[in-house]
Amino acid sequence: MSLNKNELKQIEGAIIKLLREEVGPIIKSQSGKYLTETYDDKANQVDLVTKSDKNIEFIIKDKLKELYPTFHFVGEEEYIPGETEIPMEPTFVVDPIDGTTNFIHGFPYSCCSIGLAVDGKSVVGCVFNPHLDQLYHASKGNGAFVNDEPIRTAKRPLTLQKSVVGLEGGADRADSPGSNFDIKMSTYKNLLSDKGGFIHGFRSLGSAALNICYTATGIFDAYWEGGCWAWDVCAGWCILEESGGSMIGGNKGQWDIGIDHRVYFAIRGGCTPEEQHKFAEDFWNQTTGDLKY
């Protein structure tokens, strides 16, 4: 099933309305709430956050199914490892709360991420951070926006040494030689070292969706991550591409990937494809192994 530009724009608008009117206020009102109530009981803390996730995901699914009854739905809370797949037909791919640790601590970088995939490609994306009232949105062929203002990534050279890169520690902290955590940390050292990439610096927002959106606007030059899921990246992917950026694999030589690849490398626009290609190769040369999930 193909959808034209006008249909995609209409879907984009429906998601924006849902995020602003129903989802955003819930996230904003509950952020930080569970830290004070359940700080001494980690199990309860996790249970409560999951309850919030499930409640928001139910609201989103219920509304989108009402509007688009023939579309499929894949949400983080309903995902079953080894069973759930993203079909080729139009599918909403949803993370009800991205940046859960931020959400628990009241740090204002949690968001809701709603994407639409067709043929395994992201064609609509909306990411809303209600704490800062930042709503990033795009649909294929219609451009990318933040709060309805077009994203115009500043045109400037893209080089590794002059870059600010989004990097995260991730949830996988098993520390042994050759582990994902070991590869990440040693790669970060290479990137920062004056004998390595010597990048300007790195930033961690604690939200994959927001890291991608900040790359789309050019605040970040790139974002490198392993361990994410399709719902973390689907919405941001469309926003990134519609702003002139590109999404490739985080491991060397992975130029063409699917939304469920698990290892991602977002690169901003505002430069030529040749610069993006060179930047990717220079960055990959600083990595110390392949991330595997």
Active site residues: 76, 95, 97-98, 100, 232
Whose tokens are 């451009």? That residue is: 143
* Beta bridge partners of residue 139, listed in sequence order: 124
Largest interatomic CA distance in the chain: 56
Those residues whose C-beta lies under 8 Å from the C-beta of residue 24, and which sit 6 or more positions away, are 112, 128, 130
d(CA 96, CA 57): 5
Using CA of residue 11, residue 17, residue 22, residue 23, what is the dihedral sign?
A: positive
Structure tokens at 164: 């600010």
Nearest to 92 by CA among 72, 62, 68: 72
Reduce the DSSP state of residue 233 to 3 states and report it. Answer: helix
The whole-angstrom distance between residue 118's C-alpha and the CA centroid of its chain comes to 18
Reduce the DSSP state of residue 189 to 3 states and report it. Answer: helix
* Beta bridge partners of residue 32, listed in sequence order: none
d(CA 40, CA 43): 9
Angle between helices 42-67 and 5-18 (to 10 degrees): 140
Distances (CA, A) of 152 to 118, 145, 216, 277: 26, 9, 9, 21
CB contact at 8 A, 226 and 189 = no
